[in-house]
Structure 1
Amino acid sequence: MKVLMFGWEYPPHVYGGLATANFGITQGLHAQGDIDITLCLPKPFGDEDHTAARIVAMNCVPIAWRNVDYDYVKSRIGNVMDPDYYYRLRDHLYADFNYMYVNELGCMDFAGGYPSNLHDEINNYSIIAGVVARTEDFDIIHAHDWLTYPAGIHAKRVSGKPLCIHVHATDFDRSRGNVNPTVYSIEKDGMDNADCIMCVSELTRQTVINQYHQDPRKCFAMHNAVYPLRQELQDIPRPDHTGKEKIVTFLGRLTMQKGPEYFVEAANMVLHRTRNVRFCMAGSGDMMDQMIYLAAKRGIADRFHFPGFMRGKEVYECLKDSDVYVMPSVSEPFGISPLEAMQCGTPTIISKQSGCGEILTNCIKVDYWDVHALADAIYSICHNDGLFHYLQEEGKKEVDQITWEKVGLRIRKLYDQLLSR
């Protein structure tokens, strides 16, 4: 089976959970041995893992014909794309896009990540998808999140092949209900045109059905997973904080969706009961200054640390150095980070508004707004060794059974059902 997949980010260049999920899904599908994946990315850097998917650099796909020398093409894009593939794509141009801004190779540049002109990049990406869809041989299309839905729709119209979309989040999650009408329109158009909608949780599936008015029969919950820790991550030592200061960690985007203010307020309550705890708020986002000011206003700035955005090994070092991990999200479609924390042997507290709570048992769940319950849970784990060790051991056992290979099998089953119609 051949899959044409549209993604937006991919490790090691991680901007959020989408990269981690995209990587896990491709690996889980590849593990079956008979699925070939062509993964389109706006701006790959050449250091991505190619074992599970052949990566197409959309910023190296020509949309305007250029008579250029082979050696020059190789010098310009050889680190991310085979020059022969560039010429193959050039021969499948379906329109003249010279009126758009293209470079000397007839390609469009991408900033990568989430720039201020994101909507322009989404549109450009969808145009380029037409060239790729006319060139590639594939059985099914798989588009990740609203950024790539227009590309998936274009590929479907070009090829007539079925379209699966993967809903990792909706704008209802990101905006606390203050939905951006442009984003909503893109999301709904993707859902309306999809033959199959995979949602990262039942929570998200219900949002898709009720807020985007989709047929429940084509909507499926497809929970995320984690990969076993690499040996170098397993080898990171876990400090023993017995009789010492405990460390409680929030790790994620500092945006209203993630509920960082509830973490600070709960910390304030804990610190009224004990001063033997430090709080780490790792990440970046538009609420960072607000959280620093809030910690200062509550008089707990001396107990708070703001190390900024973390990636790669830093994340696992932070998780292993923590006695409690907290994800107080207001609306979390899934949330992979609690699974990663539990992998590291860190007892975890999540909000009941988190999709991962549908598959996790050995963690503590509270309503995001109930800062009293959150504070009690933090204090209990920090001061009850029995509870700490139970959540540590049973949590790790639980997440070790939640694998991307199992997710890949479930996705494959949906592919087969779609293709058999």
Structure 2
Amino acid sequence: GYQLAQSLIERGHKVSFITNNYQGHRSGLRVMANGMKMYYLNQLPVLQGDVAFLSFFHCLPLVKQILVREQIDIVHGHQSTSVLSHCVMMAAKSLGLKTVFTEHSLYSYNDFTGIHLNKLIKWSFRDLDAAICVSHACKDNFVLRAKVDPHQTFTIPNAVDSNRFTPDPSIREAEIKKSGNPDTINIVFISRLQYRKGVDLLLEIIPKVVAQFENVNFIIGGDGSGMADLKALVEKHNLYNRIEILGGLPHTKVRDVLCRGHIFLNTSLTESFCIAILEAACCGLLVVSTDVGGVPEVLPKHMAYLTKPNVKSILRQLARAIINVKKLPCDTFYNELAEIYNWR
């Protein structure tokens, strides 16, 4: 959102953000670069998390006051699970403002959460002026769930800040020199260690890959429910020298970790776009990813080896990537992607 806002400001527009207070200590109004305003709304102190009913009526008067004060013309909301987004867009419609909504995720139709959410968005988005989805797969999913007009729903992919994700071969060369083996290949996996991100597939893949390729190591960043199983796997197979577990990573350190690798692995079971593989390719990594959701729409074919979300298919494409990665001009991916994906 920040990069989009700065691009709009460069074009002469005024942009204000409304969001929840940040980590409990950032609240009120803050003025950011180029006059961009950030309103951090306080939550009720009795709440742990975002309780829809109470949050809605607590925030509505504040939101209306902000919209009037800032003389807002268009309100742009994100993510259909955000209570604040629904609150702001309803306040905007009560004031006669235009509303645009962006959906970033895929949701199911037949589980309890999906049924409840889909009924909510059918009601909330009844008078939406336009919608944006980050992939064609996301658009199909959203149109069916929200029952919005497909002619008012547009596909605009996520962009990447190409200045923050640049390739640096010297980091990879230092990593190889440190290992003492010039043939070393590092596979990077950065994601939440959860079922929907394919952590179960990852746990099955790792022992087979390190057994087949003695020159392949794993660098794993992220945290989640699968962390205990990952640590148990390392201990069981004595892979302390082959797998580096970094835990949760701040976004500012992701680029440096990516530049240490040759191959980026994504095992997700569902993705609407997957910005992670785009960032990895910008840093000069060959991508191996499951072909779920909107993933096939993200990268040109020569930058990614796509697989089915099963162990056999992923192992086949990983082996192909390990054999070919040093023969491919991966460091040239950045220039191509910086032109394709640009906020401007």
Q: TM-score scaled by structure 1?
A: 0.69
Distance in 1 separating the partners of 2:312 and 2:115: 35
Unmatched 5+ stretches in structure 1: 1-21, 60-107, 407-421
The residue aligned with 2:15 is 37
1:117 aligns with 2:49: yes
State the shift of 1:223 in Å: 0.3
Rounded to whole Å, the distance in 2 between the matches of 1:213 and 1:139 is: 25
For the Cα contact (< 8 Å) 1:236–1:317, is it kept in 2?
no
Shift of 1:204: 0.5
- In structure 2, relative to structure 1, the CA distance for the partners of 1:47 and 1:243 (3 Å cut) is farther
Q: Is the 8 A contact 1:165 1:196 kept in 2?
A: yes
- Partner amino acid, structure 2, of 1:23: Y
Out of 12, 18, 27, the residue aligned to residue 6 of structure 2 is 27
> How many pairs were matched up?
327
Please say if 1:309 is aligned against 2:248: yes
* 1:381–1:170 CA distance, 2 compared to 1 (3 A): closer
Would the aligned equivalents of 1:153 and 1:193 in 2 still touch at CA under 8 Å?
no
Deviations along 1:189-244, one digit per CA (max 9) or x if unpaired, are 3433422111111110010122333221121111011112249x667842223724
Structure-1 separation of matches of 2:69 and 2:245 = 48
Instruction: Look up the equivalent residue of 1:152 and give its one-letter code.
Output: V
Q: Is the 8 A contact 1:200 1:224 kept in 2?
A: yes
Matches within 5 A, 1:65-214: 108=43, 116-120=48-52, 122-123=55-56, 124-126=58-60, 128-146=62-80, 147=82, 148-172=84-108, 179-214=113-148
- TM-score, length basis structure 2: 0.82
Report the CA distance between 1:180 and its aligned residue. Answer: 4.8
Match of 1:7 in 2: none
Q: Over aligned residues, Cα RMSD in angstroms?
A: 3.1
Give 3-state SS (helix, strand or coil) of 1:192's partner: coil
Q: Residues 288 and 192 from structure 1, CA distance in 2 versus in 1: closer, same or farther, beyond 3 angstroms?
A: farther
Amino acid at match of 1:333: S
- Contact 1:225–1:403 under 8 Å retained in 2: yes
Helix, strand or coil at the partner of 1:278: strand
Match of 2:338 among 393, 400, 404: 400
Q: Does 1:324 align with 2:263?
A: yes
Unaligned runs of 5+ in 2: none
Question: Within the alignment, does 1:268 sit opposite 2:207 as a pair?
Answer: yes
Change (3 A) 1:142 1:215: same
Tell me the percent identity: 18
Counterpart position of 1:63 = none
Asked if the contact 2:296–2:306 (Cα under 8 Å) also holds between the matched residues in 1, the reply is: no
- Which amino acid in 2 is paired with 1:203? A
Q: Deviations over 1:338-360 (max 9, x none)?
A: 11111111111222114243141
The one-character-per-residue Cα deviations of 1:170-192 (angstroms, maximum 9, x if unpaired) are 4339xx96635444444443433
